[in-house]
Structure 1
Amino acid sequence: MRRRVGGDGGHVDRLLAAASACWGNSPGGDGCVVAEAYDEDLRIVARTLTVARAVCGLLSARLAVLTRAEWMPLARAYGAVQDPRPEAPPLALVTSRADRAVARDLPVVHVHGTGTLQAYALFPDQGPCSMGDELPARIGAFFERHVWPHRDLIRPSAERVAWRARSDYQVRTDTERRQLRHHGCARLGIDADRPTIAVFRHTPDRDTELFDATVDYAAADESANWLFHDPVPAAGHPRIRCVGATLSTTMSWSMTDVAVAFGDSDLPGFGIPVIQAGWAEGGACGAAHVPGSPYEHRRLLADAIAKQAKGEPVLGPEQRERARLWLWLRRCGSDVPSQLLPHWEQADDYARALAVNLRHVEPGGDPLYAAVRRMWERREPMLTRFDFHDPAALIPLGNAR
């Protein structure tokens, strides 16, 4: 069994024994839940198997695991059936590699992220649907229904999460930011008096239309500086720089007046407006400007540059608060603490820590089971740490300081 982020062989042997003692009794039932666990990282595989077992318990279903050969001993220790090919269509799929473009007609749970345990879910109650088409809207609806109305209670906790998230951004005052901005512009040979637009996190072959529209707009624009964190044709364009990883987080954020993001971005929570040009789970939570077409994208770029040049705000106070609440939901509200799994940051000690946890935990009483049941019965788009249907569960957040 491969032990990347796993520890030595002794830890792996103890992990298999502990997992077998905790999970070894295969769930009964005629149906099955399929877990896909093809990753090399033990942390991801263990999370996927753990969530799959919780779903099996909820649905009274058997566990079938599709994985690498080196992970099969662990899968069997978690109670996987010997023949991973289900005789009938599975009741659900639990995976760490959900293809957002593939429409499915069964519930899909996508285990993701760091922390202790996070997962998105998609329930095709109205017919086949894909993560890409449906998930942002469903998360946005959940946010509007359960997070935004309770913002006063959540705000102290959200501020603390934001403070932790900015650990790589070592700027305390606007004066420091202005000084760094001028230094960075001088270093790159661009005009500090022009607005600076930074383009982040584009993945090749995704969101190509809007990325190409961004590149074309930058090439024709005479009014702003452009910092691309991805390779683009920049020869002959005095205001375009391909910075890649050459700028620190502190320098990059300090230089950015407006960001174009091709994935979820924390920047609005720290006062930097974002045009969300790519797919993002939180794209419907109201923190960013989201274009629906290349034409609208160009209009948003022109409007943002014009406002920035005149010193007018591009980011509203409500957008900033929504961004911090979405950051809180991602990093705290949807991160389920579980004794069944160590924290992601255990890293090289993960196998030993997981074995210790499994030797001493009572699975049926773990918070993961309540979180999975809530998500499943209510058809919610994510696992949650709190019961958002019970406002009293959020009251302690208001006391956080």
Structure 2
Amino acid sequence: MARAKPVEKVHQSYGSHFDAMCVTAGRFWPRCVLPSGEEVIFVDLLMQDVRVALRNLTLANGIRRMRPARIVALVGPDPDWRDTIWQYYDTDQLSKMATAWGAVDVIDVGQMIADTLQGVNTFEVARHTITLPETTDIPQQEYDDIVAATAVRIMRVPEVDEQVASEPTYKRLVERSKHYARIYDALFSQIPTAAFVTSHIDYAQWGLAVEAGMRLDVPVIHVQSTGSLKAYALFPDQIEGEGTYRMQMTRLIAEYFEECVWKHRDALRRSAELSTWRSKVNLGRPSWWRGGGSVSQLEFRTRAERDSVRTFAARRFGWDPAKPIITVFDHAVSDAVRSNKEIFDNLGHWFRETVEFAAENPDVNWLFVDHPAQAFYDSTQMFEKLAEKYGHLDHMVFTPSMDLSKNVIWSLVDYAVTVRGSVSNEYPAYGIPALQAGWSEWSHCGISRRADTQEEYWQYLREAMDGLNRGDRMITEEQIERARLWLVYYRALSDVASPLVPHWESSQAARLYMGVNLAMSHIEADGDNVLIATRRMWDRHEPFLTRAELHAPTEELPAILGLVSDLEESH
């Protein structure tokens, strides 16, 4: 069975346009922020992508317009990330960029780890001397989960078993993780910290910083690698009980969705239809996992067109088109494991157990679809091995995602199953029910069915089989509308456009650098959408950036968002 080929690595292109952008930034930002105070905003630059650095630094400077803080940039990724996951990280260039955007200090976290392994416990950071504690107060289970998630991602395996635990790479990761925890505890507890701005909230080099920030009352801003500028924010006063960053955000997003999106459903209905249509033709993430081109576009427009494609696709697998099909979407099995509530030990465990359940339940057909980017996440060929073991059963088909067009996949899915995959908000938008075996950003927004225990999961699968065979629809009109409103929220309302941060699809290299340089040279900062949104998020402790004031009365929303008017209002 063929596996989707990894895309080619896109290497950084710096050069004269990058240098010119940094010179302009060094003139622009000092005049657009408050004078530096004693507090520090730590900014993660541990990712190799300049677009990530640009987003994190811009948002940090947005905070500095309200808070007289200094930027301290974190560079120098973990060696295993640098050498295994990416290969073009440039400490010097990212340090240069950080300084241009106003950093008063740039610290090499990787070098700090190397020094601590040699017994060094005292460091100078931003005019402060910090001493690393012997131990930290991180809860043991949370620490173990972060370390295990790091190991499976670096080693590209579904879980930490005895074999993985015996590997030198695993032992090296465990040892370094202890020191990451000590370093972040020292930074956030011994230096007055206004915020931590990060591109990731998982894995040791980021996740242990996020955990320390939450525990030590530091606001943590999670900037997304997509769209224009998207960011989530967790403030100390918002944390309730125990739970990871993602668990806390799941609750906050659901509350905001009810108060500021669902409440406006009448005003946003036309926008929801447009966002749903755009998602069909692959405009916007997360459909990017499949790449571009016609293979990733959904083209049929009516039930009859879908049925004709389904007949062709089902017969290709030797199936009766009239028999219900439950489709299980495999995850990138080593991606951010246990960072939110999951009812199985790990993503591989969930998938294997579901395959075994399906083998014993032939009353429906089962389609198992591998993740399009699995080659980056699994070196064990778990999916292929399960396909070899169970693929002989007539009611089970295993296929790599890219072996089927989006038209074929969508024609076959009668019920979508995932842990936290985006299919559980995309399919309901088109009237196709979905089941989640865990939490996600949207899992509490009334879109999909969510199982909070393994017992519930198996029960809901049995109910799905029974309902599909009876011809039940298995989804309500309200769920469909909520799913479409989620698309509006994700693709529009929480995606803030600004010339200071060109859209992610602008890619890297000269075009990006020239665009940012132009914005800083010729467009005034006051009134910039990102800076306004950052102030609104910071002042009100809102859980994410928004394009506009969504707490306003519904009747004011058309003017606030510039919505298309109803015909009777246009005269």
Q: TM-score, normalised by structure 1?
A: 0.92
Return the offset for 1:74.
0.6
1:72-95 CA deviation, whole Å, 9 max, x = no partner? 111100000135435314221111
**Identical residues among aligned pairs (%):** 35
Q: Tell me what 1:315 maps to.
A: 475
Runs of at least 4 residues off by over 3 Å: 3-8, 24-27, 83-87, 100-103, 126-129, 209-213
Equivalent-residue separation in structure 1 for 2:498 and 2:259 (angstroms):
26
Select the residue among 95, 105, 110 that pairs with 2:222: 110
On the 8 A contact 2:259/2:551 being kept in 1, the answer is no
Select the residue among 160, 163, 177 that pairs with 2:306: 177
On the 8 A contact 1:191/1:225 being kept in 2, the answer is no
Is 1:79 the counterpart of 2:102? The answer is: yes
SS where residue 450 of structure 2 aligns? coil
On the 8 A contact 1:210/1:294 being kept in 2, the answer is no
Q: Match of 2:557, as an amino acid?
A: L
Select the residue among 365, 370, 381 that pairs with 1:225: 365
Equivalences for residues 51-66 of structure 1 within 5 A: 51-66=59-74
Of 260-269 and 126-135, the range deviating more from structure 2:
126-135
Equivalent-residue separation in structure 2 for 1:368 and 1:165 (angstroms):
24
Q: Tell me what 1:252 maps to.
A: 409
Select the residue among 222, 235, 240 that pairs with 1:123: 235
Equivalent-residue separation in structure 1 for 2:261 and 2:492 (angstroms):
12
Q: Tell me what 1:216 maps to.
A: 356
- Give the alignment's Cα RMSD to 1 decimal: 2.3
1:98-123 CA deviation, whole Å, 9 max, x = no partner? 12876323211111142211011111
Equivalent-residue separation in structure 2 for 1:54 and 1:175 (angstroms):
51
Return the offset for 1:124.
2.4
SS where residue 59 of structure 1 aligns? coil
Return the offset for 1:166.
0.8
Equivalent-residue separation in structure 2 for 1:144 and 1:32 (angstroms):
34
Equivalent-residue separation in structure 1 for 2:525 and 2:518 (angstroms):
14
Higher relative contact order (CA 8 A, sep 6+): 1
1:162-216 CA deviation, whole Å, 9 max, x = no partner? 1111112111111111111121112123332321111225132534254344223
Equivalent-residue separation in structure 1 for 2:45 and 2:363 (angstroms):
49
Of 133-142 and 363-372, the range deviating more from structure 2:
363-372
Equivalent-residue separation in structure 2 for 1:115 and 1:129 (angstroms):
28
SS where residue 183 of structure 1 aligns? helix
Q: Match of 2:558, as an amino acid?
A: I
On the 8 A contact 1:5/1:350 being kept in 2, the answer is no
Corresponding residue pairs, total: 399
Equivalent-residue separation in structure 2 for 1:311 and 1:72 (angstroms):
60
Equivalent-residue separation in structure 2 for 1:281 and 1:337 (angstroms):
21
Q: Which runs of 5+ in 2 are unaligned?
A: 1-8, 77-90, 108-124, 129-190, 282-296, 371-382, 567-571
Select the residue among 251, 260, 268 that pairs with 1:146: 260
Select the residue among 146, 156, 161 that pairs with 2:270: 156
Equivalent-residue separation in structure 2 for 1:123 and 1:94 (angstroms):
12
SS where residue 318 of structure 1 aligns? helix
Q: Match of 1:19, as an amino acid?
A: A
Equivalent-residue separation in structure 2 for 1:11 and 1:129 (angstroms):
44
Is 1:399 the counterpart of 2:564? The answer is: yes
Equivalent-residue separation in structure 2 for 1:5 and 1:165 (angstroms):
29
Of 29-38 and 120-129, the range deviating more from structure 2:
120-129
Select the residue among 28, 47, 52 that pairs with 2:36: 28
Equivalent-residue separation in structure 1 for 2:353 and 2:405 (angstroms):
27
Return the offset for 1:46.
0.6
Q: Tell me what 2:547 maps to.
A: 385
Q: TM-score, normalised by structure 2?
A: 0.66
